[in-house]
Amino acid sequence: MKNFPIFIFILLQFGSIAQYQPTEQLQSIAQTSQSAGQVEKSLQLARSFYEKEAYQEAAETASKVIGDAAALGLERQAKEAQQLVVKCEQIIALQNSRANNEGIGSAAVAIQLSELFFKNGEYEKAAELAAEAYDEAEEYDNKAFMATALNKEAKAILKTEDVSKEEKAEARKKFRRSLKLLAENKVIDPILKKENLDQLEEFGGNVVSSIEFVEAKEAVKMAMDSINSNLGKWSIKDIDIKLPGKNEREAPATVISSEPVALRMEQQRELYHKIIKLNRDRMTKELMEPLPPPSAGGDEVGRIVAHVTDEMKDLWPAQLEVIKSDFSNNEKRIEKMAPEEARQALLLATYKSNYDSLMHLHVLDSINLEKQELAIRQHEAEMKQQKTRRSLMMTGSGGSLLLTIFLFFGFARQKKNNQLLSQKNEEIQHEQERSEALLLNILPAQVAGELKQYGESKARRYDNVTVLFCDFKDFTKIAENMAPEKLVNELDYCFKAFDRIISENALEKIKTIGDAYMCAGGLPAADGNHAAQTVKAAIEMQAFLNNWKAEKKQKGEPFFEARIGIHTGPVVAGVVGMKKFAYDIWGDTVNIASRMESSGQPGRINISGNTYQLVSDRFPCTFRGKVKAKNKGEIEMYFVEETLA
């Protein structure tokens, strides 16, 4: 009984806890529900920014959603926000790259943007960007980029919603135009060629119909006639075979009649002319074979005639000399081994044999052409028969049911295969995008485009470039007293800040060597304001280091102080070597910029006289006089006095 009050007290405590706990859970659930609703609203706002093409705002809003959604366990919202951030950052990076590039480099980035929007399912934007890329590539007459842009635009058109019959026809023309550009300009891109052919096959089993085939055949014949007309100055009328006459050898003792000999010589000349004409026609066909078939009545016939005529003018004279040499050798060989009449007979037989061989090849070409036309007509007939059979099968209810079951299983199997194929294609596309993003992070867009297209990038000379060198004071001493991991983290934090600063000022990062940081303005795209932009970036870099220094002093930690040197002059820039490509610059300008840095003072920006002439009206500077620089003698130097608030 003594413990009874204690027992009652414990029971009351448990009762109060049991009453309080559900209320607390309900409040927590209500707060979570309210937070989830706020996350969904923020995600909807990010989507809205993206649709309005405000990609920076969309990325910032979605970044906040990732953290809030992860804290609440909202996996779907967190994943969607993360995907949105990645898409926005990719678009922003490519848009900035395109803005900082001119000429064919801008076209290359536009094609990459088109591919990105196509992958994201934004087909109208993909088509627009591909069309812009084509216009830019056409301005610089880059046939490879033009063919690629046409392919991308056509694919995007076919993917748009409610695509019309006219739009499909336009897409088909673009695939054909892309094929034609590859063939006419001998651009080696088997993947693009196969993709164009596969797309054209999807339009209806054959790239051309029987009617189009006949029209193309007539157009080819017209082109052949025009080419032969253009080659009239190499007419075989001025070419004659050289038969031995009385002055070259004595007449045989027994001559029956000169008429058969004269007749055979005339036949030889006639066959000789025919053989030359057949050889010329065959060479013309071989030159026309790689080109796509022209359309009747269009400008393609004229372009093909001009193109093949120019090639024939280069190739036919040498081929004609080979033919003449063969005939001359045959004459000499037969002349040594036979009397006059027998020699003429053998020579005529040789000419006939040569002519018969060429005629055989000519007939084979005609037969193959007829076979192709017959195959196309037969295929069209089979397609009509299949369509008729399907219609008859659909009329019977039992046949209809069997056909439905068959189609269902076939569709299910095809759908599964398509899903697997689509998944693999997405994986390949994702890896390709990652590779391209890494390449753009290493090299300028223009250089990366050249490497992808041609496998190499030629070095270029730039007459006016501003080079910046930055190096830390007493870095070796700081490194000796700091853990390697922490040292690397500190450098990474600092260099990332430098990267942001030079990107905002349209400069190109060249490389880092240990604690040294090097960048340049005025390349790869020319910029008349590069000197001022470089000095402005240097001021912002020193401002960042001063703020960081103040934070470090408060914590009692070691800090970095940097010397910055700047010089303006000519350089050569490009990519060298075969492995681990790196964009670099060379020249005396680089050496002088390095001397500007080593001759400066911590926390200051030391510029040369060349740079001073370009920025003196923008930034107050103090003349230091002529300062002796290692291996360079005395150089005029100036300290930039302006600092950013």
For 348-378, how does the pLDDT look when each residue is reduced to its tens digit (9 = 90+)? 666 666 666 666 566 556 665 666 666 666 6
Which pLDDT tens digit goes with each residue over 518-574? Answer: 999 988 877 788 999 999 999 999 999 999 999 989 988 888 899 999 999 999 988
The whole-number average pLDDT for the span 233-259 is: 43
Q: Is residue 278 part of a domain?
A: yes
Q: Is residue 332 part of a domain?
A: yes
Q: Which residue has the higher pLDDT, 201 or 563?
A: 563
Query: Alpha-carbon distance 193 to 183, whole Å?
Result: 9
Examine the domain organization and report whether 605 and 495 are in the same domain. Answer: yes
The whole-number average pLDDT for the span 10-14 is: 47
Examine the domain organization and report whether 582 and 516 are in the same domain. Answer: yes
Query: Alpha-carbon distance 569 to 461, whole Å?
Result: 11
How sure is the predictor about 329, in pLDDT bands with cuts at 50, 70 and 90? Answer: confident
How sure is the predictor about 143, in pLDDT bands with cuts at 50, 70 and 90? Answer: confident
Q: What is the CATH number of the domain that holds 575?
A: 3.30.70.1230
The residue among 75, 93, 111 that closes a domain is 93
- pLDDT for residue 499: 92
Query: Alpha-carbon distance 275 to 263, whole Å?
Result: 18
- pLDDT for residue 565: 95
Q: What is the mean pLDDT of the chain?
A: 76
- pLDDT for residue 360: 58
Q: What is the CATH number of the domain that holds 173?
A: 1.25.40.10
- One-letter amino acid of 319: Q
User: Which residues make Cβ contacts (< 8 Å) with residue 594, sequence separation at least 6?
Assistant: 469, 565
* CB neighbour class for 212 (10 Å; exposed up to 12, middle 13-18, buried from 19): middle
Do you find a cis peptide bond into 570, omega within 30 degrees of 0?
no
Helices first, then strands: H and E counts in the chain: 19, 8
Helix, strand and coil content of the chain, in percent to the nearest 5, comes to 70, 10, 20
The candidate with the shortest Cα–Cα distance to 229, out of 122, 121, 120, 305, is 305
Examine the domain organization and report whether 235 and 370 are in the same domain. Answer: yes
Q: Is residue 141 part of a domain?
A: yes
Examine the domain organization and report whether 260 and 372 are in the same domain. Answer: yes
Q: Is residue 425 part of a domain?
A: no
- pLDDT for residue 300: 62
Q: Is residue 437 part of a domain?
A: no
- The residue whose two tokens read 């391209």 is 436
Examine the domain organization and report whether 251 and 199 are in the same domain. Answer: no
Examine the domain organization and report whether 141 and 217 are in the same domain. Answer: no
- pLDDT for residue 622: 92
Query: Alpha-carbon distance 495 to 512, whole Å?
Result: 9
Examine the domain organization and report whether 29 and 113 are in the same domain. Answer: no
pLDDT at 245 over 60: no
How sure is the predictor about 243, in pLDDT bands with cuts at 50, 70 and 90? Answer: very low
The residue among 347, 380, 413 that closes a domain is 380
How sure is the predictor about 21, in pLDDT bands with cuts at 50, 70 and 90? Answer: very low
The whole-number average pLDDT for the span 445-452 is: 72
Q: How many domains does the chain have?
A: 4
Examine the domain organization and report whether 497 and 635 are in the same domain. Answer: yes
- pLDDT for residue 377: 67
- 19-54 burial code (b ≥16 CB/10 A, e <16): eeeeeeeeeeeeeeeeebeebeebbebbbebbeeee
Q: Is residue 123 part of a domain?
A: yes
Q: Is residue 290 part of a domain?
A: yes
Which pLDDT tens digit goes with each residue over 156-200? Answer: 998 888 888 888 888 888 888 888 888 777 777 778 877 877 787
The whole-number average pLDDT for the span 571-581 is: 77
Which pLDDT tens digit goes with each residue over 386-402? Answer: 767 766 666 665 666 77
pLDDT at 500 over 80: yes
The residue among 67, 93, 119 that closes a domain is 93
**Residues of the domain holding 108:** 100-203
Examine the domain organization and report whether 255 and 277 are in the same domain. Answer: yes
User: Which residues make Cβ contacts (< 8 Å) with residue 293, sequence separation at least 6?
Assistant: 208, 216, 219, 220
Examine the domain organization and report whether 88 and 107 are in the same domain. Answer: no
- pLDDT for residue 502: 92
pLDDT at 235 over 60: no
- pLDDT for residue 547: 92
- pLDDT for residue 521: 93
Q: Is residue 272 part of a domain?
A: yes
Examine the domain organization and report whether 224 and 249 are in the same domain. Answer: yes
The whole-number average pLDDT for the span 328-350 is: 64
- pLDDT for residue 255: 43
Query: Alpha-carbon distance 289 to 307, whole Å?
Result: 13
Examine the domain organization and report whether 495 and 622 are in the same domain. Answer: yes
pLDDT at 435 over 80: no
Q: Report percent pLDDT > 90 for the chain.
A: 16
- pLDDT for residue 517: 94
The candidate with the shortest Cα–Cα distance to 524, out of 546, 536, 504, 509, is 509
The whole-angstrom distance between residue 597's C-alpha and the CA centroid of its chain comes to: 39
The whole-number average pLDDT for the span 98-119 is: 85
Ranges 9-23, 234-248, 437-451, 622-636: which has the least confidence: 234-248
- One-letter amino acid of 135: D
pLDDT at 3 over 90: no
